[in-house]
Structure 1
Amino acid sequence: MTTKQSYELAKQQYEKWGVNVDAILEQLKNIPISIHCWQGDDVAGFEVNKGELSGGIDVTGNYPGKARTPDELRSDLEKALSLIPGKHRLNLHAIYAETNGEAVERDQLEPKHFENWVNWAKEQELHGLDFNPTLFSHEKAGDGLTLSHPNEEIREFWIRHCIASRKIAEYFGKELGTPCLTNVWIPDGYKDIPSDRLTPRQRLKESLDKVFAVEIDEQYNIDAVESKLFGIGSEAYVVGSHEFYMGYALKNNKLCLLDTGHYHPTETVSNKISSMLMFSDKVALHVSRPVRWDSDHVVILDDELREIALEIVRNDAADKVMIGLDFFDASINRVAAWTIGTRNMIKALLYAMLTPNAYLKQLQEDGNFTERLVLMEEFKTYPFGAIWDYYCEQAGVPVKETWLEEVKQYEKEVLAKR
């Protein structure tokens, strides 16, 4: 049976529930995923005076073939993008600047240091670029404090870096015709119980106020702030907690970015999305997979990923939730990691779009919890895979696991020679 024939049979089963499968596939094409560049080089970046990875972040594994140059990283990204259906975005960190061998401090970065990325994005016809100031892996973040540092000189350095990053993002937005999401995450915190939780947060607020005092049109740049529960070296206290950033974002008309690994293991981001959307026009996501802690494992099609997608789709929020990825695994082929994670995010969205959400909502309103549970469970084994295979085929990317052969060939011809 051909992929098309399997699709037609599967479509009939969904259409019994009023699901317009053809229309859904057209809609899915228009949902971009912001793919993070840092999976390809283990969050190393290309600074001339490159420091060790810090900030409560850890990358484990030594799989061969890590990208060592911008051109190698772009080549690896091109291979991954060729295996992923749809038109997507790329998420960059400031440490991926190209300075032609010149040591440029982070607070002196300019749009010209990212011209190659913009030109490449245009060549690849990407949906756009997103950006992140890099407030880790630097001597001025050596004690784990940046925007909340008690030393004013150090705080001002990081303030200048964040302002420079927002101006770079503005450049991205103007060049590519779609606003750049600029996300501020800092590692600030303490390993042991602090004697003062308030003062560092006051300093962080003052620093952010200075960063955002520089006005940039949201036509080109959208600001976001990202919380964290704890990190390596900041187990007892993180300055930028969820409550801090949620309050700051709501009060200052910024986006609150929810990272799926940045909460207590019993919390789920899927349960937060609807609440956030009640008070914010948009919400940003970093989709990762925490295994007992913020371990940034490659995204798999697990219950939480499906639930995140369902919350986005059933609440008509595809244009309100900006979806980005954030994982880094150096124990497996890095191109495969990008492909697995991104394809799974898209699969989850498709799964959610194929669910008869309006009917299920009405069952809940009617108090018919028996039928609600029955259908929610039965739809888990509907022929979703046949729809996905057809979507991939129509997009011109490999169907099922056949994409792995291309990755193996790329590893043999390119990665293994590095």
Structure 2
Amino acid sequence: MNNQPADAEIRNAYELAKERYAALHVDTEEAIAKLENIAISLHCWQGDDVGGFEDPERGLSGGIMATGNYPGKARSVAELRQDLDKAYSLIPGDHRLNLHAIYLDTDQKVARNEILPEHFASWADWGKANHHGIDFNPTLFSHPLADDGFTLASEDEGIRQFWVEHCIASREVGAYLGEELGTPAITNIWIPDGYKDTPYDRFGPRLRLRDSLDIIFEK
């Protein structure tokens, strides 16, 4: 049984909405024209429940609310791209992809602080072929060195250094994607660090985070 509305029904509903918005001095045609020039950066992790392809057997951690067990989720880079292609085909306009570091495309085991642009070259090729700009995210969760809830603000200097190196490497990947695709890539650093209670030292973690970010953005 097909419950999809017919084109005529959709157009009639739109004309009704258009009239009602016009009564509020809103020009829907003008609004739609503006929307056509706005690119949405679609989160890649919506295709596989934040599992990524770095270590599919590892569970999620770091304050992630998803379970990683969504039925029918993408199990490979190829499957994720197929799902993304389908999603983009249903969304009017030309849009972007927000890509996390754990979605690298390689057969080798790569430490997060050792990721290179070459591990994301196939994503650049996919973006070119489909006219998608790509933004980038370092992944500061679901990793043994993030299990205590602290990364860039960790008291452990070795842990902080690891995540600083990961963020620097991620910025290099973002720069590469921007150059390859001819559109600036936004490299967004989502930081999971924090307490759920009130510790006696609330300033120390902030200082460590500041120092880590200063190093990351030095170049």
Give the TM-score taking structure 2 as reference length. 0.87
The answer to whether residue 71 in structure 2 is matched with residue 69 in structure 1 is: no
Q: Give the count of matched residue pairs.
A: 212
CA-to-aligned-CA distance 1:79-113 (integer Å, 9 cap, x gap):
111111221111111000112x2111111111111
Contact 1:111 1:168 in 2 (8 A): yes
Residues 20-99 of structure 1 aligned to structure 2 (within 5 Å)? 20-48=27-55, 51-60=58-67, 62-99=69-106
Residues 131-146 of structure 1 aligned to structure 2 (within 5 Å)? 131-146=136-151
CA-to-aligned-CA distance 1:146-182 (integer Å, 9 cap, x gap):
1111121111111111011011111111111221111
1:113 alignment partner, SS class: helix
Partner of residue 113 from structure 1, selected from 110, 114, 119 = 119
Alignment CA distance shift 1:66-1:8 (3 Å): closer
Residues 136-285 of structure 1 aligned to structure 2 (within 5 Å)? 136-214=141-219
Alignment CA distance shift 1:97-1:50 (3 Å): farther
The amino acid of 1:71's aligned partner reads: A
The amino acid of 1:42's aligned partner reads: D
RMSD of the alignment, in Å?
2.2
Q: CA deviation at 1:11?
A: 4.1
Alignment CA distance shift 1:60-1:106 (3 Å): closer
CA-to-aligned-CA distance 1:37-87 (integer Å, 9 cap, x gap):
111111111114853211011324844211110001111111111111221
Q: CA deviation at 1:23?
A: 3.0
Identity within the alignment, %: 57
Contact 1:146 1:154 in 2 (8 A): yes
Q: CA deviation at 1:9?
A: 6.0
2:97 alignment partner, SS class: strand
CA-to-aligned-CA distance 1:94-149 (integer Å, 9 cap, x gap):
000112x21111111111111111111122212x1111101111111121111111
The amino acid of 1:197's aligned partner reads: R
Contact 1:49 1:103 in 2 (8 A): no
Q: CA deviation at 1:10?
A: 5.1
Q: Which runs of 5+ in 1 are unaligned?
A: 215-418
Counterpart Cα distance in 1 of 2:109 and 2:75:
17
Instruction: Using the TM superposition, name which of 84-93 and 54-63 deviates more.
Output: 54-63
Counterpart Cα distance in 2 of 1:157 and 1:166:
14
Q: Which runs of 5+ in 2 are unaligned?
A: 1-6
Counterpart Cα distance in 1 of 2:18 and 2:56:
55
Counterpart Cα distance in 2 of 1:158 and 1:131:
16
Alignment CA distance shift 1:184-1:63 (3 Å): closer
2:74 alignment partner, SS class: coil
The amino acid of 2:96's aligned partner reads: R
Alignment CA distance shift 1:4-1:65 (3 Å): closer
Alignment CA distance shift 1:23-1:192 (3 Å): closer
2:187 alignment partner, SS class: strand
Residues 257-406 of structure 1 aligned to structure 2 (within 5 Å)? none
Contact 1:48 1:102 in 2 (8 A): no
Contact 1:129 1:172 in 2 (8 A): yes
Contact 2:124 2:177 in 1 (8 A): yes
Counterpart Cα distance in 2 of 1:5 and 1:64:
36
CA-to-aligned-CA distance 1:196-228 (integer Å, 9 cap, x gap):
0001110000000000001xxxxxxxxxxxxxx
Give the TM-score taking structure 1 as reference length. 0.47
Counterpart Cα distance in 2 of 1:186 and 1:21:
38
Counterpart Cα distance in 2 of 1:44 and 1:95:
8
Greater strand share, 1 or 2? 1
Counterpart Cα distance in 1 of 2:109 and 2:121:
17
Counterpart Cα distance in 1 of 2:82 and 2:63:
29
